[in-house]
Chain A
Amino acid sequence: MTILLVLIPLGCLLLAVAIAAFLWAVQNDQFEDLELEGRRILWDDDPPDESPARSEALHDAR
């Protein structure tokens, strides 16, 4: 049972870390937009500027 005297303070330390992480997340706008970020992962294509070949091809087509 005496192991609890070590484990419970350890748990409290973890709690402090969790609260600190949460505070950091809130201060860094991680909770600002909960609607869009879920959809963002579904946008699978690369931004156009990272595929110069494709935009050049489009340019030629025009």
Chain B
Amino acid sequence: MVAEALLAPEPCFHCGLDVPIGCDFTVALLGADRAMCCVGCQAVAEMLRDEGLERWYVEREGPTGIPAQTVPDVLEEATFLRLEAEDRAFETHGAGDRVEATVLVEDMTCPACAWLIEHALASLPAVEEARVNLIARRARVVWREHEGTLDDVVRRLAEIGFRTRPDAPDEAADLRAHERRAALVRLGVAGLATMNVMTYAVALYLGAADAMPAGIDRFLRWMCWLVATPVVLVSARPHFEGAWRDLRARRPGMDVPIALAIGGAYLASAIAVVRGQGQVYFESVCMFTFFIGLGRYLEHGVRQRADALAEHLVDAAPDLARRIIDADLGTEEVIPARRLDVGDRILVRSGEVIPVDGVVLSGAGAVEEVVLSGEPWPRDVREADAVRAGSVNADTILEIEVTCAQEDSTLGVLHRLIDRAQSERPEVARRADRLGGVFVVAVLAIAAGTAVAWSTIDPSRVFDVTLAVLVATCPCALGLATPTAIAAASEGLARAGFVLTGGSALENLARLDRVVFDKTGSLTEGRPRIEFVELVRNLSREDALERARALEAGSSHVLAQAFTPQRADAGRSAAIPDRRAPSPASVRDRDAVAGAGVEGTIGGVRHRLGRADWASEVCDGRTRPTLPDDEAHTQVLLADEAGAIAWFGLGDALRPEARASVNALQDLGLEVEILTGDPSPSAAHVAAELGGLPISAGVSAEGKVEHVRSRQRQGECVGFVGDGLNDGPVLRAADVSVAMAGACDLSRLSADALLYRDDLTAMPRAVRWARRTRRIVSQNFAWAIGYNLLVLPLAVTGHLPPWLAAAGMSASSLLVALNATRLRREGSTP
């Protein structure tokens, strides 16, 4: 018999994931047969083609990376939405029988998705209008009540592969939207007014030289005052409020000199207009306000995008629970977790997050509580033990009685996580804040000194010169230098699949010397695959595979995943059985024996799949085949009453992009090594495949921490990439810890950063990005400090008129903000 390699690494045309072995789903698209990875993707692709929406594949920016949803999930989501609708009544009724609702569409990433959603919804007979907002990831749908329901909309979106959630009224989001609008209004008012005031001001400058009639001259000054007033009252208001806050808190901030300059210049000019003599500075006031507003608006926008992405990540936590309706009949329903009541009984499958606090009723297994306690090892639980929301069921199915409503349990966990991610301000930003504070005090002191000095030199110019000093040396650019750069880089990185959750990750990434990979789940798929099938009996390979799949269907054991033809890890979607395999129903008396395998009756014959000695007992050890000599794979035996059928070699395949990523990291001058707890020779095999990386195999969790610490003692900055599940301590010990998104929902947030799309190439890109961020922050600092030091002597000696000071300061801030926005795109230089 021949050991056959079964890996066919062809990407699915729809979602871009590998097409699993033994799958044959093709769809004729764009003039060729395209391979699909699962029924879901196939259905979506066929639907798009038949609806004439094939052009999406041309317009989009790349495969989705997320397999299309499977049918049972669609039903679950639709149920979920209807329940939410009952709860929250988020539909609004308009004229006639028109109903309007907004749904949040997940996984919508590019304009092509928006195109697809609008066209797919418009083709529903009941829908009158569908409009997508790409930035907010929301679709607003208007439909006729008597012809359809929101369920139709949700189902339609699910058909084309988009998951939806009702757009729950979110106070934080409303507040942000309100703030953004207010900022835009302030900016617009300042901009429009500035244009007008500048024309009057130019006329005044020229008119002064050409001896303009005194009446016109005075008239223009009054007009300047009129137009500048809304700018000061509306656009500059946040600066006054900020300055007042700062003064009351006795903490000098950036707003103090800004408010002093704007308020002082405005009042002095107004007095000059009334008295009919003296200089007016209205144009400087307007321009200064406008440019500061522009800088802040840019910063705000960049930061908001970064926040929205982080929020999306936390949103991804599961919100559904399986409630048992009737234990005897085995019926269950899927409902939103927050509708669970105390006393309800729920089922939690292996790998799922426990949605509420509760007590185990039946089932014995282990739960992981990394998120809650930081304890990396699974805790054994049995009947009557308490389990907590946010922990992950690591083992078998658990039946749990709810003891605490969701609001009181999970939400607490989520809030802690969000708070953690947002409260940690990067060290470099804190430094910039402190420096900014010192600078403000210095500016105020210098301005006061200048005023005193000029009152003896030339009392008529005291105000003029002091104003120029205040404006010219305002450390606005300094204040913008770091936050804009960090926000822009965070957003760019998040879009590249690298999401920062810890405050100082970006800074540490830039000075990384060494990257340590945990083998399981980071360099390899972390998921067993069938690498070869060796037939013992004269039976077709497909037949053997089908029987094995049927036996393992529904099993939650780790190795069972190898027999599931779908990629179940990327979405929330549960794996569904291959169409062609015998359905799980045809296997009777299925039984899983812990530590041994599964058995069941197929067509009246008892089958076993599992450890060799246990599996061959089914045929009384009549045929006891010898184990193929291969240490790199885990071997399981399939046998029935007549004897052994086949060996399956299960291995953990290397990620396709692992090699390129490791090489890219080495090109950046980083040391790369592997540290794994797995003592088997397969780890060495992986290291050799990656070009002979240094490897330490069979290292305990304490050993890993010690290893990382010893490298740090040698002065190295160490990054650790793991699956984030059982690496808790070492993730904390490393300077930068990166977790793969494939890990369970919440636990992934215990790392500083997250590879969101499970794509290792994001790691070298992130390092490059972080280095570029560091460089741009230094440039910004150098410019901001250099410029201020340069203009200070000019302003103090009275060689800089206030309007020029305002223009220069604003240009400087703008330059810094624009320089930082370069970080939103990936640079080509290392």
Contacts and interface: CB of A to CB of B under 8 A. Distances in A.
A12 B122 contact: no
Given A26-B184, A36-B111, A58-B50, A8 B125 contact: no
A53 B778 CA distance: 62
A36 B52 contact: no
B220 interface: yes
B196 interface: yes
A27 B398 CA distance: 51
B134 A33 contact: yes
B427 interface: no
B188 A32 contact: no
B136 interface: yes
Interface residues of B, number: 38
A44 to B, nearest CB: 10
Contact of B122 (A19, A34, A47): A47
B265 interface: no
Nearest to B188: A22
Contacts of B115: 39, 43
A19 B189 contact: yes
Contacts of A35: 111, 134-135
A56 to B, nearest CB: 12
B133 A32 contact: yes
Nearest to B182: A26
B135 A12 contact: no
B271 interface: no
Contact of A1 (B132, B133, B213): B213
A27 B188 CA distance: 13
Interface in A6-34: 8-9, 11-12, 15, 18-19, 22-23, 26-27, 31-34
Contacts of A12: 196, 223, 226-227
A40 to B, nearest CB: 8
B123 A8 contact: no
Nearest to A39: B111
B133 A49 contact: no
Interface in B109-145: 111, 114-115, 118-119, 122-125, 132-136
A9 B200 CA distance: 12
A48 B50 CA distance: 12
A62 to B, nearest CB: 6
A48 B134 contact: no
A10 to B, nearest CB: 11
A15 B125 contact: no
A28 to B, nearest CB: 11
A19 B192 contact: yes
Contacts of A34: 135
A15 B193 contact: yes
Determine the main DSSP class of B at the interface with A.
helix
B185 A8 contact: no
A36 B185 contact: no
B244 interface: no
A62 B47 CA distance: 11
A55 B52 contact: yes
Given A19-B189, A48-B51, A8 B122 contact: no
B286 to A, nearest CB: 12
A8 B184 contact: no
A58 to B, nearest CB: 6
B185 A48 contact: no
Given A12-B223, A32-B136, A36-B134, A26 B188 contact: yes
Nearest to B185: A26
Nearest to B207: A1
A18 B123 contact: no
B181 A15 contact: no
A47 B119 contact: yes
Determine the main DSSP class of A at the interface with B.
helix
Interface residues of A, number: 31
A19 to B, nearest CB: 6
Contacts of B220: 8
B216 interface: yes
Nearest to A9: B223
Nearest to B115: A43
A4 B223 CA distance: 11
A1 B192 CA distance: 25
A36 B52 CA distance: 22
A8 B203 CA distance: 12
B122 A22 contact: no
B223 A8 contact: yes
Given A8-B220, A19-B192, A33-B133, A47 B123 contact: yes
A33 B131 CA distance: 11
A1 B51 CA distance: 68
Contacts of B192: 15, 18-19, 22
A36 B132 contact: yes
B188 A33 contact: no
Nearest to A25: B188
Contacts of A11: 196, 199
B219 A49 contact: no
A19 B133 CA distance: 25
B123 A1 contact: no
A22 B188 CA distance: 7
Interface string B43-78: 000000011110100000000000000000000000
Most buried by B among A9, A34, A48: A48
B330 to A, nearest CB: 38
Contacts of A62: 50
Interface in B199-248: 199-200, 212-213, 216, 219-220, 223, 226-227, 230
Contact of A31 (B55, B118, B184, B216): B184
A33 B52 contact: no
Nearest to A4: B216
Given A11-B196, A47-B119, A49-B123, A27 B51 contact: no
A13 to B, nearest CB: 11
B335 to A, nearest CB: 33
Contact of A15 (B55, B135, B227): B227
Contacts of A58: 50-52
Nearest to B219: A5
A1 B210 CA distance: 13
Contacts of A54: 52
Contacts of B111: 35-36, 39
A-B pairs, top 10 by smallest CB distance, nearest first, are: A47-B122, A36-B134, A48-B123, A39-B111, A22-B188, A33-B133, A33-B135, A15-B196, A36-B114, A26-B184
5 contacts: A1-B216, A32-B135, A47-B122, A54-B52, A55-B51
Interface of A: 1-2, 4-5, 8-9, 11-12, 15, 18-19, 22-23, 26-27, 31-36, 39, 43, 45, 47-49, 54-55, 58, 62
Given A5-B216, A36-B111, A58-B51, 16 more contacts: A12-B223, A18-B192, A19-B188, A22-B188, A23-B188, A26-B181, A26-B184, A27-B181, A31-B181, A32-B133, A32-B136, A47-B122, A48-B122, A49-B124, A55-B51, A58-B52
